[in-house]
């Protein structure tokens, strides 16, 4: 990716004794990029450097515009960005309306591309306009904070664990709104999170940070299918596939999610044909077989080829990656089974998928 193309070039190196950050990233200029890693890995530090809230030597270009290099540093308020903090941080002395308008009013009229009505609609906050923040629920506050950031029509939206201060129910309340942002607005999002479920649901691109270094980066599906990541998306190793609802079997309440290379039968939850969905397949729900088994309760059977075998975190287990069409699927097997079946890269197998989760 060249420096002039749309995208974010971020190169920072800092040494604060116990904490180091050393990254050189070229991030896509569209979609949701997750900065994923355990706490203390440098995610928030990196986001604050990109926002200019903290200052350390480095190079930062956003869509070809230099925000920081050796000689210049654009202060935060002159950067076209939106920032959503972990806590909503609404101004307590202002109503929802004035919170939303705070940033919007400070952007020249001709640069406003995001419409107030649209944001109210997208985030479902139209009925809260005259309330002060202390009369809003946690989820409502965070939605207003997201709206407030969007209304500055930013070139990039930075989100620092926007859901982590919320309980599970509030989180589930906001996630669909975040998906709508992703689908309906053409604003690239940098999304800091340590929650695998948020990342697999929202991200298109992922940067895995550990101890201040980017240990992996790439498109989400591709990166999740890598077996050599030192950091896993939690205990649940698995892959994510982007798919389209291709057929609905109303008699059995099933729907088929088609991806390049196959189709997966999932529970039909009412999505129409043609709807884009994301499915997650955990490695523990995948088994491999050398022959096509008809007498099985498993619904999803697909032909594939073993591409890689790697150790798992227990000496009895291995992770096996199989190529199915253009997708990669990872299975967690015992070493014994792998040996019994004689699995090696290049070997054709039948991939049996016991469970598929439809996310978003």
Which residues contact another protein by CB under 8 A?
A: 51-53, 75-78, 81-83, 85, 87, 89, 91-93, 102-103, 106-107, 134, 148-149, 152
Residue number with CB closer to another protein (102 or 265): 102
Residue number with CB closer to another protein (27 or 88): 88
> Residue 226 CB, nearest distance to another protein (Å)?
34
Helix, coil or strand: residue 97: helix
CA–CA gap between residue 280 and residue 277 (Å, rounded): 10
Residue number with CB closer to another protein (151 or 163): 151
> Residue 84 CB, nearest distance to another protein (Å)?
9
> Residue 155 CB, nearest distance to another protein (Å)?
13
Q: Side by side, which strands form the sheet with 189-193?
A: 81-84, 156-160, 189-193, 32-36, 205-210, 213-219
> Residue 223 CB, nearest distance to another protein (Å)?
29
CA–CA gap between residue 354 and residue 357 (Å, rounded): 10
Residue number with CB closer to another protein (103 or 196): 103
> Residue 231 CB, nearest distance to another protein (Å)?
29
H helix runs in the chain, sequence order: 43-51, 96-105, 116-123, 138-150, 168-184, 196-202, 220-224, 335-341
Residue number with CB closer to another protein (23 or 104): 104
Q: Are 220 and 200 in contact (CB under 8 A)?
A: yes
CA distances from 215 to 7, 26, 39, 161, 232 (A): 20, 14, 15, 20, 11
> Residue 60 CB, nearest distance to another protein (Å)?
15
Q: Look at phi and psi of residue 74 and say left if phi exceeds 0, alpha if psi is from -120 to 50, else beta.
A: beta
> Residue 165 CB, nearest distance to another protein (Å)?
13
CA–CA gap between residue 58 and residue 36 (Å, rounded): 21
CA–CA gap between residue 192 and residue 197 (Å, rounded): 13
Structure tokens, 303: 């032909």
Residue number with CB closer to another protein (106 or 109): 106
Residue number with CB closer to another protein (104 or 216): 104
* Burial tier of 201 (Cβ tally within 10 Å: 0-12, 13-18, 19+): buried
């Amino acid at each position: 990716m060249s420096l002039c193309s749309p995208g974010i070039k971020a190169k920072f190196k800092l040494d604060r004794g116990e904490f180091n950050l050393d990254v050189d990233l070229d991030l896509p200029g569209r979609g949701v990029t997750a900065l994923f890693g355990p706490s203390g890995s440098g995610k928030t530090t990196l986001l604050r450097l990109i926002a200019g809230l903290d200052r350390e030597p480095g190079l930062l270009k956003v869509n070809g515009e230099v925000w920081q290099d050796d000689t210049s540093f654009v202060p935060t308020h002159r950067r076209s960005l939106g920032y959503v903090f972990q806590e909503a941080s609404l101004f307590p002395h202002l109503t929802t309306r004035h919170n939303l308008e705070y940033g919007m009013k400070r952007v020249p009229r001709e640069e406003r591309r995001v419409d107030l009505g649209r944001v109210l609609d997208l985030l479902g906050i139209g009925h809260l306009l005259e309330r002060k923040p202390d009369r809003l629920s946690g989820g409502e506050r965070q939605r207003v904070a997201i709206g407030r950031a969007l209304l500055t029509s930013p070139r990039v939206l930075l989100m620092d664990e926007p859901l982590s201060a919320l309980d599970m129910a509030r989180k589930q309340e906001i996630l669909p709104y975040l998906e709508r942002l992703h689908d309906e607005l053409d604003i690239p999002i940098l999304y800091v999170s340590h929650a695998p479920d948020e990342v697999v649901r929202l991200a298109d691109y992922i940067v895995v940070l550990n101890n201040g270094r980017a240990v992996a980066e790439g498109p989400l599906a591709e990166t999740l299918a890598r077996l050599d990541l030192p950091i896993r998306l939690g205990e649940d190793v698995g892959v994510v596939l982007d798919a389209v609802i291709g057929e609905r079997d109303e008699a059995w309440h099933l729907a088929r999610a088609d991806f390049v290379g196959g189709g997966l039968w999932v529970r039909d939850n009412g999505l129409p044909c043609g709807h884009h969905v994301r499915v997650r397949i955990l490695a523990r729900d995948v088994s491999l077989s050398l022959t096509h088994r008809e007498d099985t309760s498993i619904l999803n059977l697909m032909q594939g080829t073993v591409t890689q075998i790697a150790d798992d975190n227990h000496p009895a287990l291995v992770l096996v990656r199989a190529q199915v069409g253009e997708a990669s699927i990872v299975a967690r097997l015992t070493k014994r089974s792998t040996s019994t079946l004689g699995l090696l890269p290049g070997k054709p197998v039948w991939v049996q998928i016991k469970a598929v989760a439809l996310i978003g």
